[in-house]
Structure 1
Amino acid sequence: MFTVGSLFVLVTMALALVRAVRGPSVYDRIVAVNLFGTMTVVLLVLLGFLTDRPEFEDIALLYVLINFAGTIAVMKFVKYSSLAGPPDGGGGRGAPSGREGDA
């Protein structure tokens, strides 16, 4: 049963790699790489369960955190061409005028 599940995870990983290479946009490629990372975590948990080694779950949790942070960093870099964020400091609202109550 778990062998079939592992096989399905490997097929999903292969399809994610195909999408990462052939994706029509950069966002499709980033999502495909994120999916590949998620399926790697699932495969690690399955392997840890099959071999009765619970430390694989700890490794999988660490990999989830790295995958999430990496995806956010790459998306931010693609959007702003920098990891610093938007040039105006964020929000896009500009500086407050300091005039309260003017009608």
Structure 2
Amino acid sequence: MSAASFLDWTSLIALVLLAAALLISVVRIVIGPTLADRVMALDLLTVLALGFIGAVAVRTGLTLYLDIAIAVALLGFLATIAFARYILRKAIERE
């Protein structure tokens, strides 16, 4: 087994596992009992998407995907901060 063949198989396995984890995360977003659970699942979805983009970048050899991963990471961070502020504001209004 050559190194290129090994890298091809491992990246394919990584993509399949990450796709399964993405589906499970989406299910958690839909059935999450609380808003905090949904926010955590959304954050997990962002991290898994970063891993998926990274695996595609390794598989194809294109560095363009890394720029996309940086943009997704920034959007995921900002979304998590926005949801955290929303949850905090909602808790303050309840008091």
Task: Report deviation, 1:63.
Answer: 0.9
Post-superposition Cα deviations, 1:30-80, rounded to whole Å, max 9, x if no partner, equal 110111111111111111111110111111012101101111111101220
Aligned residues: percent identity? 22
TM-score (norm 2): 0.80
Residue 55, structure 1, aligned to residue 64, structure 2: yes
Considering only CA atoms, is the larger Rg found in Structure 1 or Structure 2? 1
TM-score (norm 1): 0.75
- Supply the distance in 2 between the matched residues of 1:78 and 1:19 (Cα, whole angstroms): 18
Per the alignment, residue 64 of structure 1 pairs with 73
Where does structure 1 differ by over 6 angstroms across 4 or more consecutive aligned residues? none
Per the alignment, residue 31 of structure 1 pairs with 40
Task: Report deviation, 1:21.
Answer: 0.6
Paired residues of 2:11 and 2:58 also in contact (CA < 8 A): no
**Which residue type is aligned with residue 41 of structure 1?**
L
CA RMSD between the two structures: 1.5
Structure 1 unaligned blocks of 5 or more: 88-103
- Supply the distance in 2 between the matched residues of 1:27 and 1:20 (Cα, whole angstroms): 10
| Greater relative contact order (Cα < 8 A, sep 6+) | 2
May I ask how many residue pairs the two structures share in their alignment?
83
Structure 2 unaligned blocks of 5 or more: 1-9
